[in-house]
Structure 1
Amino acid sequence: MRDRMQALEQRLAAARKAQDPKPRTDEHYSMANMAWRMVTELVAGLLIGFGIGYGLDTVLGTMPIFLVIFVLLGLAAGINVMLRTAKEIGAEATDAPPKTKED
């Protein structure tokens, strides 16, 4: 009985291992994709800042003040996100194993 249980446990472990997702080696970012991601993050920060500033200026009747302030805040936020993305990409690049000719 014990041998049958051990055999069953081994088969279950093998089946679980076969069901595990395989790491994908084709998921990599080209330099152009990284650059577009950073540009998009910067533009998104600017647009959000513009929208908030314009909305506040329209509601409060103070046309250029909040628009300028929030566009600058959006620019700062976009640059902050870009720097964080660059650090993330740099960390991934240093953690990646070196490629050989077989890869």
Structure 2
Amino acid sequence: MSEDPNKAQLDALSARIDGLKKTSQAEKPRGDEHYSGAQQGWRMVTELVAGLGIGLTIGYGLDWLFGTLPIFLVIFTLLGFAAGVNVMLRTAKEVQNEHEAKEARKKD
């Protein structure tokens, strides 16, 4: 008779532990689904450098075509930088929204 209440308590405790294990495992992000901070940083740097490179290339090409070397090079380098910063800020906003959604799910 004394084993029945203990067994019921142990079963309840075991079920509670299993439930907590499942929730803690569900909250861990998988490496292939979410970017780490370093990956996000490199993504932003790559976007900025790509914008600069594309602007530089277009500007140099137009200057070579028209024979006006510094004008289009400077203009399109600045435009490429602005485009790179714009894409980088959009990525940062996306990361922030994902983080806020994750925090809201944790609170619920």
Q: Shared fold (TM-score greater than 0.5)?
A: yes
Structure with max Cα Rg: 2
Q: Secondary structure at the match of 1:98?
A: helix
Deviation at 1:34?
Answer: 0.4
TM-score by length of 1: 0.70
Counting only pairs closer than 5 Å after superposition, residues 28-43 of structure 1 correspond to structure 2 as 28-43=34-49
Match of 2:75 in 1: 69
| Equivalent residue letter for 1:35 | G
| 1:44 corresponds to 2:50 | yes
Cα RMSD over matched residues? 1.3
Runs of 5+ unmatched residues, structure 2: 1-28
TM-score by length of 2: 0.66
Q: Secondary structure at the match of 2:106?
A: coil
Fraction of identical pairs, as percent: 67
Deviation at 1:29?
Answer: 1.1
Match of 2:89 in 1: 83
Q: Structure 1, residues 39-93: CA drift from partner, whole Å, max 9, x if none?
A: 0000000000001000000000000110000000000000000000000010011
| 1:60 corresponds to 2:66 | yes
Q: d(CA) in 2 for partners of 1:92 and 1:37?
A: 16
Q: d(CA) in 2 for partners of 1:47 and 1:73?
A: 11
Deviation at 1:98?
Answer: 2.6
Match of 1:18 in 2: none
Q: d(CA) in 1 for partners of 2:71 and 2:45?
A: 26
Q: Secondary structure at the match of 2:35?
A: coil
Runs of 4+ in 1 over 2 A off after TM superposition: none
Q: d(CA) in 2 for partners of 1:42 and 1:98?
A: 33
Match of 2:19 in 1: none
Runs of 5+ unmatched residues, structure 1: 1-24
